[in-house]
Amino acid sequence: MKRSDINRLIKAASASFAKNGHALPPHPRWDVTDFGLGDWSKSGLVLVNLAEEAEYCEKLMYAQRGMMIPAHTHKRKKEDIISRAGVLRVWVWANADLQGKQEFLLQVDGVKRPVKSGDHVDLQPGSRVTLTPGIYHGFESVTEECVIGEVSTANDDVNDNFFVNPDIGRYPEIEEDEEPLLWLLSDKNPGGKQS
């Protein structure tokens, strides 16, 4: 992923957060990824860690239309994914077999309802879906851009992300074609520069 694209996405996310009334803490921890697939416009996400505690975490995320977060699950993390602005489509599957049509219960806005593997829910601003360990999920913005919230149990991106596609890497390889606007979680931070 080019550093210029990372910088451009950080600027777009910052503008969207501000436009939609989401203030960031004094030293947010940014993450921008193409999931190691080389095309952030198809598989990508911008994340900002707002709270990182031993028991819980909170993130604010940003996606543009076409940016898909690939199918994955967690063994330990339980999370609420919330549309904060725009419409977010969340795809769900009962297991790693994305072709099956197994029925299971999914909690949307606090109410459990039956869904089948491969179904999706469209979250309007303020709506949320609760994803428990073992439910495979992926999501995408169906509007030009979407601000996404996450509240979850403690997050471990390195050891508790299980993607269906074995080619996916959580952090991108970065081509340094311009100076970083700020340092990412995955950067080796030589200058101590923060956002």
Give the span between the Cα atoms of 35 and 172, in whole angstroms: 6
In a domain, 57, yes or no: yes
pLDDT of residue 156: 83
Domain that holds residue 77: 3-89+123-163
Q: What single string gives the DSSP state of each residue in 29-93?
A: EEEEE-TTSS-TTTS-EEEEEEEE-SSEEEEEEEEETT-EEEEEE-SS--EEEEEEES-EEEEEE
pLDDT of 194 higher than 70: no
Give the span between the Cα atoms of 63 and 67, in whole angstroms: 6
In a domain, 179, yes or no: no
In a domain, 128, yes or no: yes
pLDDT of residue 6: 97
In a domain, 73, yes or no: yes
In a domain, 24, yes or no: yes
pTM here? Answer: 0.93
pLDDT of residue 61: 98
pLDDT of residue 195: 45
φ, ψ dihedrals at 19, nearest 5° = -60, -35
Question: What are 142-181's pLDDT values in tens digits?
Answer: 999 999 999 999 888 788 999 999 889 878 889 999 999 9
Cβ(130)–Cβ(78) below 8 Å: yes
pLDDT of 10 higher than 60: yes
In a domain, 25, yes or no: yes
CATH classification of the domain holding 63: 2.60.120.10
In a domain, 131, yes or no: yes
pLDDT of residue 19: 97
Question: What are 97-153's pLDDT values in tens digits?
Answer: 888 889 999 999 999 999 999 999 999 999 999 999 999 999 999 999 999 999 999
In a domain, 172, yes or no: no
Question: What are 35-60's pLDDT values in tens digits?
Answer: 999 999 999 999 999 999 999 999 99
Q: List residues bridging with 137 in a β-sheet.
A: 72, 92
pLDDT of 192 higher than 80: no
Please state the domain count of the chain: 1
